[in-house]
Amino acid sequence: MSEQGPDIRKSTGGVDATDIQAADWVLARRLTSQWSRADQIALDAWIESALSNRIAYLRLDAAWERAYRLEALNPHDIADVEARPSRWPLILLRIAAVLGVIAILGAAGLYALQPGVKTYATAIGGHELVSFDDGTKIELNTDTVLHARMTTSGRMVWLDKGEAYFEVKHDSAHPFVVLSGNRRITDLGTKFLVRRDSGHFEVAVVQGRVWFDTSGKQTSDQTALLTQGDEAIATANTLAVKKEGEQKLAKQLGWRQGMLVFDRVSLAEAAKEFNRYNRRKIVIADAQAANQMIGGTFPATNVDAFTSAIQLAFGLHVQLRGNDAVISH
């Protein structure tokens, strides 16, 4: 067996080259009865040569375990591999199917295949803190849905929508991974914020480091090692990373204390943020009012306090229309 990895190649329905090579290693280690110390050394070297290799291997090795438990592979298939080499195509086909499921469903749908997954959700204006046995904490912001599987064999979270703050207890042997659509964040000892809106994905690192990457044919390759103070903003085809100060990050996390902090943002931007937290919406009626720059700290779920402050500070007109507050110049 070469140091570049076993030479087994099957179509995986869109999984990238690193995933394919990781799958080769998983197959070889799991199914080869003559696995040697030299093979293990070569595998360890490949895993250590790149963080993406480590992540791919751990993820697909876990996928094998799930497939085994779900009887995607029958126990006798493995036992009889050496005695009946003709069964290899069937085994490879089934592994390819497992990887194909990963590619087709994407990160957001994988939790459906995971045993022991728990779902956490907040309503509009809601806030919830979830603590896990390993010391990790996840704080959910307004209108957020996520699924978590926290076991001794792996730690994975799927963020369907919304925003969450993570304080992760680092364990290099069991990486903590956040999957959201085709974006993946892997913890390297970290406190970080993840926000997912329609067409917009954001990661801000408060402490430590995370590895950010994507997968799938529909998205251009986007990878970055994010360190303390980094903020990554991704759209369908772009990724921008910038360094933010501690003060800016603290303002972004004001929602943890139930507050929204604005520092010279347009009234339109402030209204959009308020509307994430309230069923009663703020509507900006004209461009002149929308472009008014504001600043201040406001209770996230108190629309009246915000509109009253805007009315007093800028002389804007506030009118109730049904359940909405309409602001105009």
pLDDT 10s digits, 39-60: 888 888 888 887 777 777 776 6
* The pLDDT of residue 64: 61
Mean pLDDT within 157-162: 91
CATH topology of domain 112-248: Jelly Rolls (2.60.120)
pLDDT digits (tens, 9 = 90+) for 94-109: 555 455 545 544 444 5
**pTM as predicted:** 0.67
Confidence of residue 154 (pLDDT cuts 50, 70, 90): confident
Burial class (CB within 10 angstroms; exposed 0-12, middle 13-18, buried 19+) of 121: middle
User: In the CATH scheme, what is the code of domain 258-328?
Assistant: 3.55.50.30
Span 244-248, mean pLDDT?
84
**For residue 257, what are the CA distances in angstroms to 156, 295, 306?**
26, 18, 17
pLDDT at 6: 44
Domain boundaries, the chain: 17-105, 112-248, 258-328
Distance from C-alpha of 256 to C-alpha of 313, rounded to nearest angstrom: 26
- 13: pLDDT strictly greater than 80: no
CA triple 129-268-327, angle to 5 deg:
110
- Residue-by-residue DSSP string for 124-192: TT--EEEE-TTS-EEEE-TT-EEEEEE-SS-EEEEEEEEEEEEE----TTS-EEEEETTEEEEESS-EE
Q: What is the pLDDT of residues 256-286, one digit of tens each?
A: 999 999 988 999 999 999 999 999 999 999 9
